[in-house]
Amino acid sequence: MSALKPSIPKGTRDFTPLEMIRRNYIFNTIKTVFEKYAYLPIETPTMENLSTLMGKYGEEGDRLLFKVLNSGDFMAGIDFQNGTPNQIAPKICEKGLRYDLTVPFARFVVQHRNDLVFPFKRYQMQPVWRADRPQKGRYREFYQCDVDVIGSDSLLNELELIQITYEIFEKLGLNIVIKINNRKILSGIAEVVGEPEKITDICVAIDKLDKIGKEKVFEELQQRDISVEAIRKIEPLFDFSGDNDKKLEFLSTFFAGNEIGMKGIQEFKTIFDYVQQLGLTPPELDITLARGLNYYTGAIFEVKTTDVSIGSISGGGRYDDLTGIFGLKNMSGVGISYGAERIYDVLEELKLFPTEIGTPIKVIFLNFGSQEELYALKGLEKLRKNGISAEIYPDNAKIGKQMNYANAKQIPFVVIAGEDEIKEHLFTLKNMTTGEQAKCTLPEIIEIVSKN
């Protein structure tokens, strides 16, 4: 019998050391900016109770949740013949893998509210899971880097998220456009076209505009029982263009007499004015931006890079009462999430990872065996105590093999601690990039390596 070929589930990936070093470069860049703006880290469990997750993301989100089967005899007493999958799932699955970091964050806030200082500013960088169809830039397991502030409805928080976004992508070397809309504008549209109770259906359909096109969106709106007359009134919103001022002028006319729509316009204007006063590039008002998550109530964001066609690399928005689902009312929050996987794919495609980020190992001591080995170990220990990442080849192998190992791992310095070096109480340091080598004391090696 032939051996089973090892594999991993579709939509998941292994990461090599080089890939992990590059991923950590992304995480560290984002983390540095988060902390600069006074956000603090938290973590939540991989699994949440399914009751925490279900019903928070809309129909499509519920479908994409990975559900975890109960342990033990979980099938006992279940009538699989009479019931839909959604009806049966809660009976055999009490837990699920988190779909995003925002809903678990809301649960965290409610559960730990007596220990937190509000407004509470947190960041969280952990994997999430979605039972989606894998494709370029879309995985079933992926990392999100979230930053949120909860306990304040000030629009200064939206401004700060825009500042953070520009700074992160400037540090990563990516050109971006920030698109912004407001759920109040979308609610106003639903009211003006006479379908206020269909706001969720309208948002879900509109959110697919970039993926399936206008005609398919209209078809989906009809399938969701939106009237032909309402669709006809919505259509001009998909076609008009121009700068933010022209869009606001159009919307002001469209929303004449509609309170919630005008409130959305005013919130956008306030954010827009803040951004202009700070000399930042204004976000682009995109009234077809909906973001399908049910919990958004105010400003919604989406970030795309203009360098590569890959979809959004960041997104988020305002949620006024997400914690209310868990019993804590009137706790408004706003946040934005950065997709580490797509950012990685873009940086790799554009070859934007810094050339200097490679192996963290700076020095390798060659192994000559017996007495020389002990001499090398003492030198190795001093380098490590000075914060230098270093190792010794574990076997007294041929020098060529040891040098090939150093080259393969791209270790920049090799230290030779042979019989001659022991006699002179020195070490020979070889620069693997230039090929130069010289006999040095340990303090000299520490100084040279530390500067490179």
Least confident of 75-79, 94-98, 184-188, 281-285: 75-79
Q: Look up residue 135 and give its DSSP letter.
A: B
Q: Which amino acid is at 357?
A: I
Structure-model confidence comparison of residues 87 and 404, the more confident one: 404
Strand order across the 93-97 sheet: 47-49, 93-97, 67-69
Confidence of residue 218 (pLDDT cuts 50, 70, 90): confident
Confidence of residue 83 (pLDDT cuts 50, 70, 90): low
Q: Which amino acid is at 3?
A: A
Distance from chain centroid for Cα 430: 41
Q: Going by DSSP bridges, is the β-strand pair 284-285/176-182 parallel, antiparallel, or unpaired? A: parallel
Could you read off the pLDDT of 290-315 as tens digits, one per residue? 876 678 899 999 999 999 988 899 99
CA distance 244 to 388: 53
Question: Which residues have a Cβ under 8 Å from the Cβ of 310 and sit 6 or more positions away?
Answer: 136, 137, 342, 345, 346
Confidence of residue 262 (pLDDT cuts 50, 70, 90): very high
Are 49 and 67 in contact by the 8 Å Cβ rule? The answer is no
Confidence of residue 238 (pLDDT cuts 50, 70, 90): confident
Residues pairing with 28 in the sheet: none
Least confident of 19-28, 43-52, 351-360, 402-411: 351-360
Could you read off the pLDDT of 118-171 as tens digits, one per residue? 999 999 999 999 998 888 778 999 999 999 999 999 999 999 999 999 999 999
Average of pLDDT values for 328-336? 95
Least confident of 52-61, 92-101, 174-183: 52-61
Residue 302 structure tokens? 């989406």
CA distance 173 to 164: 14
Q: What is the pLDDT of residue 141?
A: 95
Could you read off the pLDDT of 33-66 as tens digits, one per residue? 999 999 999 999 999 999 999 888 877 788 899 9
Average of pLDDT values for 310-329? 92
Q: Residue 392: name the closest of 382, 400, 401, 402 by CA.
A: 402
- The b-or-e profile of 97-106 (16+ CB within 10 A means b, else e) is bbbbbbbbbb
- Length of the chain counted residue by residue: 452
Residue 72 structure tokens? 């033990």
CA distance 159 to 152: 13
Residue 434 has pLDDT above 90, yes or no: yes
Are 251 and 185 in contact by the 8 Å Cβ rule? The answer is yes
Sketch out the chain's domains with CATH numbers. 17-46+99-349 (3.30.930.10), 363-450 (3.40.50.800)
CA distance 31 to 162: 16
CA-based torsion, 29, 35, 37, 41: positive or negative: positive
Average of pLDDT values for 239-266? 90
Confidence of residue 274 (pLDDT cuts 50, 70, 90): very high
